Structure 1
Amino acid sequence: MVGWIIRTLVLCFVVGFVLSFLRIDPASILTNSWQTVQEIVALMIDAGRWALPYILIGAVIVVPLSVLGLVLRWNRTRPPS
Protein backbone atom coordinates (compact mmCIF):
# COMPACT_ATOMS: atom_id res chain seq x y z
CA MET A 1 0.00 0.00 0.00
CA VAL A 2 2.79 2.43 0.88
CA GLY A 3 4.58 1.55 -2.38
CA TRP A 4 1.45 2.34 -4.38
CA ILE A 5 1.11 5.71 -2.64
CA ILE A 6 4.75 6.60 -3.32
CA ARG A 7 4.49 5.54 -7.00
CA THR A 8 1.30 7.59 -7.37
CA LEU A 9 2.90 10.66 -5.79
CA VAL A 10 5.99 10.36 -8.01
CA LEU A 11 3.79 9.94 -11.11
CA CYS A 12 1.72 12.97 -10.10
CA PHE A 13 4.90 15.00 -9.64
CA VAL A 14 6.28 13.98 -13.04
CA VAL A 15 3.01 14.66 -14.86
CA GLY A 16 2.60 17.97 -13.02
CA PHE A 17 6.18 18.97 -13.90
CA VAL A 18 5.66 18.14 -17.59
CA LEU A 19 2.34 19.99 -17.71
CA SER A 20 3.89 22.98 -15.96
CA PHE A 21 6.76 22.95 -18.46
CA LEU A 22 4.19 22.99 -21.27
CA ARG A 23 2.40 25.90 -19.50
CA ILE A 24 -0.79 23.91 -18.99
CA ASP A 25 -2.66 24.72 -15.79
CA PRO A 26 -5.51 22.75 -14.14
CA ALA A 27 -8.10 25.44 -14.94
CA SER A 28 -7.46 25.22 -18.68
CA ILE A 29 -7.64 21.41 -18.55
CA LEU A 30 -11.06 21.56 -16.91
CA THR A 31 -12.30 24.34 -19.21
CA ASN A 32 -11.17 22.57 -22.38
CA SER A 33 -12.53 19.23 -21.15
CA TRP A 34 -15.95 20.75 -20.52
CA GLN A 35 -15.89 22.36 -23.96
CA THR A 36 -15.04 18.99 -25.52
CA VAL A 37 -17.96 17.34 -23.70
CA GLN A 38 -20.26 20.12 -24.90
CA GLU A 39 -19.08 19.65 -28.50
CA ILE A 40 -19.68 15.89 -28.31
CA VAL A 41 -23.21 16.47 -26.99
CA ALA A 42 -23.88 19.00 -29.76
CA LEU A 43 -22.66 16.47 -32.35
CA MET A 44 -24.96 13.80 -30.92
CA ILE A 45 -27.93 16.18 -31.00
CA ASP A 46 -27.18 17.13 -34.61
CA ALA A 47 -26.90 13.45 -35.57
CA GLY A 48 -30.23 12.79 -33.87
CA ARG A 49 -31.89 15.65 -35.73
CA TRP A 50 -30.52 14.29 -38.99
CA ALA A 51 -31.52 10.66 -38.31
CA LEU A 52 -34.95 11.19 -36.73
CA PRO A 53 -36.91 11.79 -39.97
CA TYR A 54 -35.43 8.62 -41.50
CA ILE A 55 -36.22 6.63 -38.37
CA LEU A 56 -39.83 7.83 -38.42
CA ILE A 57 -40.26 7.04 -42.13
CA GLY A 58 -38.85 3.56 -41.60
CA ALA A 59 -41.01 3.02 -38.54
CA VAL A 60 -44.14 3.45 -40.65
CA ILE A 61 -43.25 0.16 -42.39
CA VAL A 62 -41.12 -1.69 -39.83
CA VAL A 63 -43.29 -1.35 -36.70
CA PRO A 64 -46.52 -2.75 -38.20
CA LEU A 65 -44.60 -5.63 -39.83
CA SER A 66 -42.85 -6.39 -36.53
CA VAL A 67 -46.14 -6.39 -34.63
CA LEU A 68 -47.69 -8.64 -37.30
CA GLY A 69 -44.77 -11.06 -37.05
CA LEU A 70 -45.02 -11.06 -33.27
CA VAL A 71 -48.77 -11.83 -33.39
CA LEU A 72 -48.25 -14.63 -35.93
CA ARG A 73 -45.43 -16.13 -33.86
CA TRP A 74 -47.57 -15.89 -30.72
CA ASN A 75 -50.45 -17.70 -32.49
CA ARG A 76 -48.13 -20.53 -33.54
CA THR A 77 -46.71 -21.09 -30.04
CA ARG A 78 -50.05 -20.80 -28.24
CA PRO A 79 -51.51 -24.18 -27.25
CA PRO A 80 -54.77 -25.04 -29.00
CA SER A 81 -57.96 -24.43 -27.04
Structure 2
Amino acid sequence: MVGWIIRTLVLCFIVGFVLSFLHIDPASILTNSWQTVQDIAALVIDAGRWALPYILIGAVVVVPLSLIGLVMRWNRSRPPS
Protein backbone atom coordinates (compact mmCIF):
# COMPACT_ATOMS: atom_id res chain seq x y z
CA MET A 1 0.00 0.00 0.00
CA VAL A 2 2.79 2.44 0.89
CA GLY A 3 4.62 1.53 -2.32
CA TRP A 4 1.50 2.29 -4.36
CA ILE A 5 1.13 5.68 -2.67
CA ILE A 6 4.77 6.57 -3.34
CA ARG A 7 4.54 5.46 -7.00
CA THR A 8 1.35 7.48 -7.42
CA LEU A 9 2.94 10.58 -5.88
CA VAL A 10 6.01 10.25 -8.09
CA LEU A 11 3.84 9.78 -11.19
CA CYS A 12 1.73 12.82 -10.22
CA PHE A 13 4.91 14.86 -9.83
CA ILE A 14 6.27 13.77 -13.22
CA VAL A 15 2.98 14.44 -15.03
CA GLY A 16 2.63 17.79 -13.27
CA PHE A 17 6.19 18.74 -14.20
CA VAL A 18 5.66 17.82 -17.86
CA LEU A 19 2.33 19.68 -18.02
CA SER A 20 3.92 22.72 -16.39
CA PHE A 21 6.79 22.57 -18.91
CA LEU A 22 4.17 22.54 -21.70
CA HIS A 23 2.40 25.53 -20.08
CA ILE A 24 -0.75 23.53 -19.35
CA ASP A 25 -2.32 24.41 -16.02
CA PRO A 26 -4.98 22.48 -14.08
CA ALA A 27 -7.60 25.21 -14.46
CA SER A 28 -7.42 25.06 -18.26
CA ILE A 29 -7.73 21.28 -18.17
CA LEU A 30 -10.89 21.49 -16.08
CA THR A 31 -12.54 24.58 -17.62
CA ASN A 32 -11.45 24.47 -21.23
CA SER A 33 -10.90 20.82 -22.05
CA TRP A 34 -11.34 21.10 -25.82
CA GLN A 35 -8.79 23.91 -26.11
CA THR A 36 -6.39 21.90 -23.97
CA VAL A 37 -6.78 18.90 -26.30
CA GLN A 38 -6.16 21.17 -29.29
CA ASP A 39 -3.09 22.68 -27.61
CA ILE A 40 -1.68 19.22 -26.89
CA ALA A 41 -2.36 18.14 -30.49
CA ALA A 42 -0.55 21.26 -31.74
CA LEU A 43 2.42 20.45 -29.49
CA VAL A 44 2.55 16.88 -30.82
CA ILE A 45 2.38 18.10 -34.42
CA ASP A 46 5.14 20.66 -33.79
CA ALA A 47 7.30 17.99 -32.15
CA GLY A 48 6.72 15.72 -35.14
CA ARG A 49 7.71 18.48 -37.56
CA TRP A 50 10.87 19.07 -35.54
CA ALA A 51 11.77 15.36 -35.25
CA LEU A 52 10.90 14.16 -38.76
CA PRO A 53 14.07 15.42 -40.50
CA TYR A 54 16.25 13.76 -37.85
CA ILE A 55 14.29 10.51 -38.14
CA LEU A 56 14.72 10.49 -41.92
CA ILE A 57 18.45 11.20 -41.70
CA GLY A 58 18.88 8.43 -39.13
CA ALA A 59 16.80 6.03 -41.22
CA VAL A 60 19.29 6.33 -44.09
CA VAL A 61 21.83 4.57 -41.86
CA VAL A 62 19.70 2.50 -39.46
CA VAL A 63 17.29 0.81 -41.88
CA PRO A 64 19.93 -0.75 -44.17
CA LEU A 65 21.97 -1.92 -41.16
CA SER A 66 18.85 -3.40 -39.55
CA LEU A 67 17.96 -5.23 -42.76
CA ILE A 68 21.49 -6.63 -43.03
CA GLY A 69 21.31 -7.82 -39.42
CA LEU A 70 17.89 -9.37 -40.03
CA VAL A 71 19.14 -11.29 -43.08
CA MET A 72 22.22 -12.48 -41.19
CA ARG A 73 20.10 -13.71 -38.26
CA TRP A 74 17.69 -15.41 -40.66
CA ASN A 75 20.58 -17.20 -42.39
CA ARG A 76 22.00 -18.43 -39.07
CA SER A 77 18.65 -19.74 -37.86
CA ARG A 78 18.01 -21.81 -41.00
CA PRO A 79 19.04 -25.44 -40.74
CA PRO A 80 21.88 -26.45 -43.08
CA SER A 81 20.71 -28.00 -46.37
TM-score computed with the length of structure 2 as normaliser = 0.62
Runs of 4+ with deviation above 4 angstroms: none
Whichever residue aligns with residue 57 of structure 1, its letter is: I
Q: Who is 1:68 aligned against?
A: 68
Whichever residue aligns with residue 47 of structure 1, its letter is: A
- C-alpha separation between the residues in 2 aligned to 1:74 and 1:35? 50
Aligned residues: CA RMSD: 1.2
Q: Who is 1:58 aligned against?
A: 58
Gaps of 5+ in 1: 1-27
Gaps of 5+ in 2: 1-29
Aligned length: 52
- C-alpha separation between the residues in 1 aligned to 2:78 and 2:62? 24
Identity %: 81
Determine which structure has more spread, i.e. the larger CA radius of gyration: 1
**1:36 equivalenced with 2:39 (yes/no):** no
- C-alpha separation between the residues in 2 aligned to 1:76 and 1:41? 45
